[in-house]
Amino acid sequence: MNLSLIKGKLGLGTAPLGNMFREVPEEEAIETIDTAWNQGIRYFDTAPFYGAGLAEMRLGEALSKYNRDDYFLSTKVGRVVEDETEEKEGMFEYGRKNKLTNDYSEDAMLRSIEQSLERLKTDRLDFLYVHDVSPDFHGDEWVSQISIARKGAFRALTRLREEGVIKSWGLGVNRTEPIELAIELEETRPDLCLLATRYTLLNHDHALLKLMPRALEQNVQIVVGAPYSSGALVGGNHYDYGDVPDDIVSKTNAIKQITEKHQVSMKGAALQFSMAHPAVAAVIPGSTRAEHVKEDIAASKEEIPADFWLELREQNLVSPHAPLPID
């Protein structure tokens, strides 16, 4: 296998399988992963953060019956799952109660990898992302955190890539700025980064201005996470993992009118928009329901007329600088 095999592919993001926002029955989670596999998905992304290891455990259980050479697997570093427990709140209040420690040092990264391998029931990982070293999680401290990561996780991951232990590494974040900074580094430059919520139909202007052009110039590939903007684009109750603002409701309704006019699904429009940028290697929507995975796969292959994309552009619902599937 080589990295180019995920180019233009649909993967499965597993944040929802860590009991994000609700209790997900074990059998439902396993059925979702099995359906993704049976429908041809071969790239799976996870993280210790997702339910304090719950998503990794479920993914490891479901994938353990398949040949490890037949799929790509990525997880994240930057948080260590501790034996100590605590009460949870927020996105993963229904996940495991284990405490998470934020730590971007090399020692913590190696400990995190060892734990992830055990939960995932595998002997190797293909890609590793440094998770949430970003303003939305660390506020003004994010720059000092990324400095720790540069001296710790970044250097160690670069070494692991050079040694062939992993194929690629990068950042897994919900903001463009950390990736913009990291891809300018000389000695520890990432080559595959996961950007969630920031290259979607509803939110892409900022990424287009600086990140995507530089990613192309530096030969850094982007995996798009949360292509439905946490569900807001497809009737969900969240946008960027929070409440849906009024302006986003209005924009979604405007896009929906055009999809209905051209008989296009919102999922098809969202997935194919994100896939159209040449810097994008893969798009990884997450789900907890098998039928939604089937919808995602069908949507990624949907025939969408050029007039639909042109109307989105004419109505200023997509940036004039955004590559479209018709370009």
Positions annotated as catalytic residues are: 45, 50, 76
CA distance linking residue 195 with residue 227, whole number of Å: 10
279 φ, ψ (degrees, to nearest 5): -80, -15
With CA atoms as reference, report the closest residue to 210 among 189, 185, 180, 184.
Answer: 180
Please tell me the distance from the alpha carbon of residue 93 to that of residue 236, in angstroms, as a whole number: 19
| Distance from C-alpha of 300 to C-alpha of 293, rounded to nearest angstrom | 11
Q: How many residues belong to the chain?
A: 327
CA–chain centroid gap for 291, Å, is 20
- The values of phi and psi at residue 324, to 5°, are -115, 160
Angle at 309 between CA 306 and CA 311, to 5 degrees: 105
Instruction: Determine the Cα–Cα distance for residues 325 and 93; give it in Å rounded to an integer.
Output: 39
